[in-house]
Amino acid sequence: MKKLLIASAILAASSFQQVHAWGQTGHRITGAIAEQYLSAEAKAAIAKLLPNESLAEASTYADEMRSNPDDFWQKEAGPYHYVTVPEGKHYHEVGAPEQGDAYTALKKFSKIVKDKNASLEDRQVALRFIVHIIGDLHQPLHAGNGTDKGGNDVKVSFFWDDSNLHRVWDSGMLDRRQLSYTEWTNWLSQKITAEQEAKWNTSDPLVYIAESAAIRDVIYPETEKLSWDYLYQYLPVASERLQEGGVRIAAYLNDLFK
């Protein structure tokens, strides 16, 4: 019984680390969109590091490895999926905790990818993490306010099923449309204008974080019962964040492989 209680306490304390931003569908959408905006140099470098692996496939690796018993995945990698920005603050004012976060991990993995002395396996993991982290940073609740585990503690009913706000944004709204990631990618890609691509084209993660924190502050519902009204109001916001995430993954990788 004592062991069970300890395990439960550890699970509760780390529950934010166990979420999957965007879910598999959302991450794959950002990876697939990114491939359409890669430079020739980036395409060549990625193909060399990840032969026969699309960015859509690479994008979910960091979530799929969470059950790996290796110390890296169990003791280190959890905080690499999010940042904490208290309401009214900017990331540069608060910075990262001692264990690191998505912002510091992005810097770390970028150095590994560029390090010709690093092993191929380490560079592959680093590249997959970069694709994943940039996707994470475009999910508004992965720029958490530090009070509710990125919305995981905000219990809601989504179309009459028990859920929480984080899960609604990860996958609930997207899954409601019952589209595959390729269908989503085709629909969203066609709607990205040249003007939007130029506006969104930045490799600065502080921009991604600031945008997500600003959106996060306005998406908390006034009622626990969410259905058509919430979907109507915020699915377009989530869709645009996926579009931006795809464009930004490409922008970041294009700069990385210049």
Task: Give pLDDT tens digits for 25-77.
Answer: 999 999 999 999 999 999 999 999 999 999 999 999 999 999 999 999 999 99
Domain that holds residue 29: 2-256
The pTM (predicted TM-score) of the whole model is 0.91
Q: How far apart are CA 237 and CA 45, in angstroms?
A: 32
For residue 52, the model assigns a pLDDT of 94
Report the share of the chain in percent with pLDDT over 90.
Answer: 91
Q: How confident is the model at residue 20 (pLDDT cuts 50, 70, 90)?
A: low
For residue 21, the model assigns a pLDDT of 72
CATH number at residue 164: 1.10.575.10
Point out which residues pair with 84 in neighbouring strands.
144
For residue 2, the model assigns a pLDDT of 36
- Report H helices in 14-74: 23-35, 40-49, 55-58, 61-64, 71
pLDDT digits (tens, 9 = 90+) for 78-118: 999 999 999 999 999 999 999 999 999 999 999 999 999 99
Average pLDDT on 147-170 reads 97
Q: How confident is the model at residue 22 (pLDDT cuts 50, 70, 90)?
A: confident
Looking up tokens 């492989």, which residue turns up? 257
Which helix H or strand E contains 195, and what residues bound it?
Answer: helix 194-200
Count of domains forming the chain: 1
- Residue 14, pLDDT > 90, answer no
Average pLDDT on 193-221 reads 98
- Residue 19, pLDDT > 80, answer no
Question: Can you list the positions of beta strands (E) in 15-126?
Answer: 83-84
